Amino acid sequence: MRRARSATASAPSTTANLGSGFDVFGMALDAFRDTVTVSMSASRGVRVVADGGVPAGARSNTAGLVALAAMRMAGARGLEVRVTKRVPVGMGMGSSAASAAAAAVACDRLLSLRLRPAGLVRLAGTGERASAGAVHYDNVAAAVLGGFVIVRTGPLDVVRMAPPRGMRCCVAVPEVAVPPKKTAASRGLVPRRPRLEDATANVSNAAALVAGMARGDTALVGSAMADAIAEPPRRASVPWLEAARRRAVRAGAAGVAISGAGPSIVAVAPAGADIGAIGEAMRRGLAASRVRCRIVECRPTARGAARA
Ligand code: HSE
């Protein structure tokens, strides 16, 4: 049988942390999907063709890094990677993870790597180095597997759960210029040694959030999105957070957090909530800081990275 010359996969946008689970929680959102096609190439190395203004160097592009790692695993000679971006770049919706996850699934198929889900997450994680400067798996695990994920490290293990049925989400994506290497800079603000009281607060909230997911209780999930560790130092770069949170909760949101490393913020709401009103409330919250935004109404999705 002749081997395929190319493979295509897509992967969803995600929101990471959900407040209390820095680098631990991720959730796939049905708002956007990136698509990646990987093809065999006669030229040595990895060549990236990308739209959406993302870097096209193999080592500076998240999908390129994944292809380089996959090529080494398979002993392949050359690959071409075409990236079609739909997830807003650098806004905290898992843009780099969506491309990395789609690239991992496409490479797995093209190069017959036959990776298990954990192997795909690990491979996709190599791409995060391009945007974050360090490997972390919250966004990529959600982008690969779909649903809500809990990432354990040392050794890497991902627990996947279904979010509460009917949960709605709303992401406010601010119209602001994002500095280069935003995620790496934003990660640099997070204390390496948090205070014990803050760690305790986050552990209690993270545990309650998982209980909320397990019970299908969006109100509990939302109230457990409070974050005492990463959010306080990041507030300065998301100055609209408090005003938007106050208004969104008044409009029926269960909870609001910075989405990943920001600058977007995400609200979760139970089935039946008026998500339009929550979005409008968030818009007004950002407007109080004189910032315009795009409101993205979406839902968690079980559909992770998949052949396209
Ligand atoms: N957990 C990561 C962070 C998500 O907050 O920095 C962004 O990639």
Our answer on whether the CB atom of 132 is closer than 6 Å to any ligand 1 atom is yes
Q: How far apart are CA 113 and CA 115, in angstroms?
A: 6
Task: Specify the pTM.
Answer: 0.95
Of 13, 17, 237, which is best to mutate to test ligand 1, by the most ligand atoms within 8 angstroms of its C-beta?
17
Residue 179 Cα distances to 11, 34, 138, 186, 257, angstroms:
25, 22, 22, 10, 21
Among 118-122, 183-187, 214-218, 255-259, name the one with the lowest average pLDDT: 183-187
Q: Where does the chain have alpha helices with state H? A: 62-74, 95-110, 117-125, 128-132, 138-145, 182-188, 196-215, 218-223, 231-234, 241-250, 275-287
Q: What is the mean pLDDT of residues 11-19?
A: 98
All domains of the chain in start order, with CATH: 6-162 (3.30.230.10), 168-298 (3.30.70.890)
Distance CA 131, CA 60 (A): 8
CB atoms within 10 A of CB 151: 23
Q: How far is the CA of 96 from the centre of ligand 1 (A)?
A: 11
Per-residue pLDDT tens over the stretch 258-270 = 999 999 999 999 9
Q: Measuring CA to CA, which residue among 271, 272, 265 is closest to residue 247?
A: 265
227 CB under 6 A from ligand 1? Answer: no
Instruction: Name residues whose C-beta falls within 8 Å of residue 18's C-beta, 6 or more positions apart in sequence.
Output: 25, 27, 209, 221, 225, 257, 266, 268
> pLDDT per residue over 69-108, tens digit each?
999 999 989 999 999 999 999 999 999 999 999 999 999 9
Instruction: Tell how strand 6-16 and strand 306-307 pair up.
Output: antiparallel
Query: Distance from the CA of 183 to the center of ligand 1, in angstroms?
Result: 7
CA distances from 223 to 101, 146, 256, 300 (A): 30, 23, 9, 18
What is the β-pairing status of strands 157-161 and 148-152? antiparallel
User: Mutation test of ligand 1: which of 129, 137, 138 has the most ligand atoms closer than 8 Å to its C-beta?
Assistant: 138
Q: Which of 36, 241, 23 lies closest to 149, judged by CA?
A: 23
Of all protein residues, whose CA lies closest to atom 3 belonging to ligand 1? 261
Mutate to test the pocket of ligand 1, among 183, 231, 234 (most ligand atoms within 8 A of CB): 183
Half-sphere CA count of 237, side-chain side, radius 13 A: 25
> Average pLDDT of 36-41?
96
| Ligand 1 geometric centre to CA of 1 (Å) | 43
CA–CA distance, 299 with 144 (Å, rounded to integer): 17
CA dihedral 305, 274, 238, 87 (to 10 degrees): 20
Whole-number mean pLDDT of the chain? 95
260 lines ligand 1 (CB under 6 A): yes
DSSP code of residue 8:
E
pLDDT per residue over 185-197, tens digit each?
Answer: 899 999 999 999 9
Which pair of structure tokens corresponds to residue 82? 């075409």
The ligand 1 atom nearest the CA atom of 138: 1
- CB of 279 within 8 A of CB of 251? no
- Cβ count within 10 A of residue 3: 8
Q: Give the pLDDT score at 32.
A: 98
Which atom of ligand 1 approaches the CA of 96 most closely?
8
Cis check: omega of the bond before 174, within 30 degrees of 0: no
Indicate whether residue 261 lines ligand 1 (CB < 6 A): yes
Ligand 1 and 182: CB distance under 6 A: no
